[in-house]
Amino acid sequence: MTNPEHFPVHIAPMLDWTTRHCRYLFRLLTRHAVLYTEMIHANALIHGPRENLLRFDQSEHTVICQLGGSDPLALAQAAKHVEDAGYDAVNLNVGCPSARVQSGNFGACLMAEPLLVAECVSAMQAAVGIPVTVKTRLGIDEQDSYEFAYRFIDIVSQTGCTEFTLHARKAWLNGLSPKENRDVPPLNYERVHQLKRDFSQLSILINGGLTSWDACLAHKGHCDGVMVGRFAYHEPRELLQVDKLFYGDNSEKMTLAQVVKAYCHYAQRELAQGAKLKGLCNPLLNLCNGMTGARAFRRYLSEHSHGEGNGMEVIAKAFSLVA
């Protein structure tokens, strides 16, 4: 662990969720948590609207771009674009189990090909100076032994890759949806802890089923950090606690009203540059969960985020409905 006083929190890459607007909101709530983009396929950066896909606000640092793919040359080229855009690191997805991802031969199915993953990581490392990290599972289908996970990490780490985020369950490549794969295969935290003991020289972060800060802190001393996903987007207000609990930062945090005011200024700027109000409102939908008026807040945002000519005043009005 780089700093014994810190137990890093990473907010997982989540498709259709961790947009740049969402990441901006998260950064208002926590100064220190590490943010990730949605997964972007390497080919999308090479052939698609690269500037738009990689756009982010400078306040988001530390921010990591997650790539998908299995072609070493394409991943190397995409990683270079990520570095040139100013990201702090690039992460390779070896954990997504969706059928669409499998059909492209990337994501979790690559766990069966650790030599190919190592080749991809090596190519990316040769192309960039920023860190290249890997997010993966503990196994796939019937290949779920400790030895399988150990061999995967052993082979890939020989490239010089020093950071792995381990979703503490295997993935079923056939028969379960991506949503079911986040819940049905049983969690095995002890296996992640054992992998950290056996690879003590590596940074091992744990992911999966972490729905409270107490649950996250239970892994301190066993892993080098935690990655939370659904907890962050279902209960974003909880992120206000991260800096003190995990980084020892006792400086005054923003109030929720200050967060909303700052986000309104950001929304006004983004709207002037052509952003859609709906995309700006979506990250806010769960912000007031548990508060009186939360339902009215969500309803107002949902009903008024499509209106022609509507602007950031929709956000301010929605927040005025919260007690």
Q: CA-CA distance, 43 to 236, in Å (whole number)?
A: 32
Of 22, 65, 96, 223, which is the active-site residue? 96
User: Using H for helix, E for strand and C for coil, what is the string for the chain?
Assistant: CCCCCCCCEEECCCCCCCCHHHHHHHHHHCCCCEEECCCEEHHHHHHCCHHHHHCCCHHHCCEEEEEECCCHHHHHHHHHHHHHHCCCEEEEEECCCCHHHHHCCCHHHHHHCHHHHHHHHHHHHHHCCCCEEEEECCCECCECCHHHHHHHHHHHHCCCCCEEEEECCCECCCCCCHHHHCCCCCCCHHHHHHHHHHCCCCEEEEECCCCCHHHHHCCECCECEEEECHHHHHCHHHHHHHHHHHHCCCCCCCCHHHHHHHHHHHHHHHHHCCCCHHHHHHHHCCCCCCCCCHHHHHHHHHHHCCCCCCCCHHHHHHHHCCC
Query: What contacts 83, CB < 8 A, 6 or more positions away?
Result: 90, 127, 128, 129, 130
216 among known catalytic residues: no
In DSSP terms, 204 is beta-bridged to 164
Placement of tokens 């690559």 in the chain: 110
Active site residues: 96
